[in-house]
Chain A
Amino acid sequence: MSAVDVFEAVWLWLRQPLEYGFMRHALVAVLLVGGVGGLASTFTVVRGTAFFADALAHAVLPGVAVAYLVAGAGSAALFWGALAAALVASAAIHAVAREGHVREETAIGVVMAAALALGVAIISTRRAYAVDLTHVLFGDLLGVGPADLVRTASLAAAATALVLVLWRPMAIVAFDPVLAVTLRLPVGWLQYALLALVALTTVLALQTVGATMTLALLVTPGAAARLVARSLGEMAALSVGVAVIGSVAGLYLSYYLSIPSGPAIVLALTAAFAALRVVARR
């Protein structure tokens, strides 16, 4: 087989799934969510807030459940319900840590458990949930419609703009919050902005990888990039690259191996992490 034949075979392999409209939508969705996830995971990894990110992914459940009760199974309603729940849960963790005089890690545990329980309790009042709930837990990439893409694209653009504008102060807060205070930076607002970035990523990732595996998007790309990056900028660029490539690779794996897209994306991201680990060791 000549090089041209190989090239053509690969091209066909890549192009064939995109004959379907739903696969084209899915591809755009994973590109957008991967990009935001790569940015968010940079900060999650350097700040060591993986547990918070995981908690947030689970804490969206009651919001999704309430949205379902009120507005039915439309993906827009579920999205806004999830986003509201993520923001409420973030604020609750903050409040429990401060008012309850407990460590933040403990507050995260308390709030995450409560939110999960509340979500399950609300869901159990209805019977017909099973299928829609599965979509929230494991992602529903093939159900992405044009309206979802518009929403995802605008929010991804807003999140990216936020990070680009606040890049330097965010980098300072992530390294040394004490320096940030003495430089009179608005540390509280910057921390809220970082929190909002994680919350937004979590909710956008519900459709692509689902609540159970959002953590992979918020940790693995950043962790992989950290292995080789020498500066935060380098790390963010690499992290976005890993997240985007891993997400696209996962989508193809999902198509050709007939496995759900969520686990396929997570496994592809993990493979990227392992590959960079090998590169970094040399």
Chain B
Amino acid sequence: MSDELEPRPARPVLEVESLTVAFGPRVVLRDVTFAVFPGERVAVVGPNGAGKSTLFKCIAGLLRPTHGRVVLAPPAERGAPALAYAPQQEAVNWHYPASVWDVVMMGRFPFYGLWRRPGPEDRRAVWEALEQVGLAHLARTPIQRLSGGQQQRVFLARALAQGAPLMVLDEPFNAVEQGAQAGLVEALGLLRPRRVAVMISTHDLDFVAGSHWFDRVLVLNGRLLAYGPPELVCARSGGGSLAVPWPEPAVCGGPMAG
């Protein structure tokens, strides 16, 4: 199982075209254009208020853009959603009475629907997802007893079980304890062999610049400042880490460049 990214195929899993979002007179995102291809790992970085969450909400369909559009590739598997989105942890009521298993099974709803009980396929998908993120032993545990890192992995398992070709994770490392980040990254590594693309917003610039884990870095501050391989994007800002304020606009590589 190679970890190398194959050459970019013709069809992107996500296309964002001239995306502009304004709340009244306040423009949060201006004319953002980029594409993500199957299996890619994209880091979205930028200072607080740069529009990272707004971008993610537009991609997930939670927010309607003022201008421009978001095009998602149809999923390969029938019934699967076009994307799986894990919000920042505070967005969910963790005091809800449900087990880890129940929450992951919610992601399978489109497969079993209103009338049928979850079938063997659904149970297998949930079980596999839990094993992959290392939570199988906690399947019956009420979610309120989980640690921050475990909660994040529940989201990840749910996204895996959904069989979506794109996974969008908003600040997944925020509530994760020191040391647990490595486990989460390892679980995310399983996505590439399945050709699942993943977009992650993060503050951890050292990780983005230093780990060689991401294929692309998207630098955002109200508009798209840079999008390309970490070596190129990070080199432009000088040194191994990205400095704030951000450098002049630069889009490196990718079919949407220029």
Name A residues whose Cβ lies closer than 8 Å to a Cβ of B.
Answer: 46-48, 165-166, 168-169, 171-172, 174-176, 178-179, 181-185, 226, 229-232, 234-235
Contacts and interface: CB of A to CB of B under 8 A. Distances in A.
Contact of A175 (B61, B84, B92): B92
B97 A182 contact: no
B172 to A, nearest CB: 14
B102 A176 contact: no
B226 interface: no
A182 B81 contact: yes
Contacts of B102: 231-232
B99 A230 contact: yes
A48 B93 CA distance: 9
Interface residues of B, number: 25
Interface stretch (B26-34, B106-114, B189-197, B228-236): B106-114
Going nearest first, the 5 A-B pairs with the smallest beta carbon separation are A175-B96, A178-B87, A182-B85, A235-B97, A229-B97
Interface string B67-99: 000000000000001011101000111011111
Given A178-B60, A229-B97, 19 more contacts: A46-B96, A169-B109, A172-B106, A174-B96, A175-B92, A175-B96, A175-B106, A178-B85, A179-B85, A179-B107, A179-B158, A182-B60, A183-B107, A184-B81, A230-B99, A230-B142, A231-B97, A232-B97, A232-B102
Contacts of B61: 181-182
A234 B97 CA distance: 9
Given A178-B87, A181-B62, A182-B61, A172 B109 contact: yes
B103 interface: yes
A226 B96 CA distance: 9
Contacts of A165: 114
A220 to B, nearest CB: 16
B62 A175 contact: no
A232 B85 CA distance: 23
Nearest to A227: B97
A100 to B, nearest CB: 14
Nearest to A232: B97
Nearest to B57: A178
10 contacts: A46-B96, A174-B96, A175-B96, A176-B106, A179-B85, A181-B60, A182-B61, A182-B84, A226-B97, A229-B97
Contacts of B106: 171-172, 175-176, 179
Given A175-B103, A178-B62, A183 B109 contact: yes
Nearest to B91: A178
B83 to A, nearest CB: 6
Q: Which of A175, A178, A182, A185 has the most CB of B within 10 A?
A: A182
Contacts of B114: 165-166, 168-169
A232 B98 contact: yes
A231 B81 contact: no
Given A165-B114, A169-B114, A183 B81 contact: yes
